[in-house]
Structure 1
């Protein structure tokens, strides 16, 4: 296949990070997969996204408006002009294949592929397929899934794993950070708390309340990545023993430090925790589209790599119960870590690209 390949990765970090991971593979092996160039197509508001500041290939910026609210009736008029610009740009760059990572921002690239009969491929990160995947699956040549999708959706594709950026992949694929937990009851258990780039007040408050239990505070050491918006608020309420970080551009040292992760259940965070063999306490964001975070958490819990807390409050009761149970039975965390690592796929990015462009199935 001649021409160029384009990765439509625009909306949130959950779409951008795996898109960049695919771009890393294609940038190194462009000719191998039969292309001249590779591009990323992303929203203008993502210019400060850490994954796009030093991208592996050229980023084409666009400003397609989001559908919804009072704009619904006039959306076609708002959409048409930037879409025409997209068509002119893509034709000039000889875009012959489009990989859609999901979200409304991938719509212009997907429509271009359909209207001009270019090859379309889709990546679905979550157990509940997003609207883009559901609507355009019949136009795609192939679809790659990060996790098994829930049974009610009959969409053909291949389960490969969520593509992971090179800078996040661990140096050694083992779970050494948990292997020493069974050696004695005096070991400190390091807990990494992730609320996402914008933070999660619920998670921060739940952890701080749990630390009021003396048995927990004596056994567990917490590191909270609060998000920049919630850093000051959380710092004022936290004890001196709690490590508070607003944001980490390099997550690898944090994953290597941790024995346990408390987080939302977005596909990106889950995939990164899996490759580090980390057990998880997942607290799904209850207002995520189609409640997909709940489905992600349920899948990990069913497999035995995580437990989930389905709550909209900061009541720490369930969290405290888990932590007290594991306080003197850290072998449970070790076994969860083994399951976590077994579910991971550190080569998902390369395998996804290979599936799209070399696997004949």
Structure 2
């Protein structure tokens, strides 16, 4: 298959990061997979996304409007002009294959593939497939899943794992970060708190309140990545000693420091925690589309890599209970970490590309 491949990765970091991971593999091995060039198709508003500031290949920017609200009736008209621009650009770039990473921003690239009979491949990050996957899977040559789909979704495809960017992959694979936690010893348990790129006030508040418990403060050390918007607010409210960071461009040192992660259950963060063999306390974002974060968290809890707290308040009680339970039983964290590592796939990006373009099955 000569010509070029384009990866439609816009929307949120959850779509962009795995798309960039695929672009890294394809850029290095384009000829091996039968392509002349590789491109990423992303929204103009993502120009400052850290993954797209120094991308592995050229980014083709577009400005497709978001669906919803009052615009719904006139959406086809708003969509038409940017879509026609996409068609002309793709023809010029000789796009012969499209990889859709999900989200409304992948729509123009997917429609291009369908209308002009180009190869179409879809990546689904969550246990509950997004609308784009549900609608367009029937047109796709192949669909790759990051996690097993929740019961009731019958979309043919292969579960491979969420593609991980090179700069996040651990130096030492099969890392066992909790082997140094032994019962009865005084060593501190490091807790990394991740609220996502926008931050999560609920998580920050819950942690600050939990730290007021003297037993927790004496055993656990907290590092909060608050998100830029909530940094000042969290810093002001912190009574106890915690490391408070607004944003980290390089996540690897944070994962290597941690023994435990408290986070939302977006597919990207979860996949990164898995490759570092980290146990997780997951607090799903309750307003995520189709409640997909709840499904992701439930899957990891069922497997034994995480525990979940389904709550919209910042009441620290369930969090405090887990932390007190594990304070003198770090073997639980070690075991969860082993499960976490067993569920990870550090080579998901390469395997996904191979599945799409080399496997005949």
Deviations 1:132-155 (A, max 9, x none): 000000000000000000111100
Q: TM-score, normalised by structure 1?
A: 0.99
Q: Please tell me whether residue 69 in structure 1 is matched to residue 69 in structure 2.
A: yes
Compute the displacement of 1:241 (Å). Answer: 1.8
Q: Does structure 1 retain, via aligned residues, the 8 Å contact 2:223–2:242?
A: yes
Which residue number corresponds to residue 294 of structure 2?
294
Compute the displacement of 1:182 (Å). Answer: 1.6
Which residue number corresponds to residue 323 of structure 2?
323
Q: TM-score, normalised by structure 2?
A: 0.99
Q: Which residues of structure 1 form unaligned runs of 5+?
A: none
Secondary structure at the residue paired with 1:121? strand
Which residue number corresponds to residue 83 of structure 1?
83
Deviations 1:260-297 (A, max 9, x none): 00000000000000000000000000000000000000
Q: Please tell me whether residue 32 in structure 1 is matched to residue 32 in structure 2.
A: yes
Compute the displacement of 1:238 (Å). Answer: 1.1
Which residue number corresponds to residue 99 of structure 2?
99
Which residue number corresponds to residue 220 of structure 2?
220
Q: Which residues of structure 2 form unaligned runs of 5+?
A: none
Q: Please tell me whether residue 154 in structure 1 is matched to residue 154 in structure 2.
A: yes
Which residue number corresponds to residue 189 of structure 1?
189
Q: Does structure 2 retain, via aligned residues, the 8 Å contact 1:10–1:16?
A: yes
Which residue number corresponds to residue 52 of structure 1?
52
- Structure 1 stretches of 4+ with a deviation exceeding 3 A read none
Root-mean-square deviation (Å) = 0.7
Compute the displacement of 1:184 (Å). Answer: 3.8
Q: Does structure 2 retain, via aligned residues, the 8 Å contact 1:175–1:338?
A: no
Secondary structure at the residue paired with 1:82? helix
Which residue number corresponds to residue 270 of structure 2?
270
Aligned partners of 1:288, 1:183: CA distance in 2, in Å? 38
Aligned partners of 2:129, 2:106: CA distance in 1, in Å? 15
Which residue number corresponds to residue 238 of structure 1?
238
Aligned partners of 2:241, 2:20: CA distance in 1, in Å? 36
Secondary structure at the residue paired with 2:192? strand
Aligned residue runs from structure 1 range 92-171, under 5 A: 92-171=92-171
Q: Does structure 1 retain, via aligned residues, the 8 Å contact 2:282–2:306?
A: yes
Aligned length: 361
Compute the displacement of 1:68 (Å). Answer: 0.4
Aligned partners of 2:175, 2:141: CA distance in 1, in Å? 37
Which residue number corresponds to residue 338 of structure 1?
338
Bigger shift: 239-248 or 155-164? 239-248
Q: Does structure 1 retain, via aligned residues, the 8 Å contact 2:183–2:329?
A: no
Q: Does structure 2 retain, via aligned residues, the 8 Å contact 1:231–1:244?
A: yes
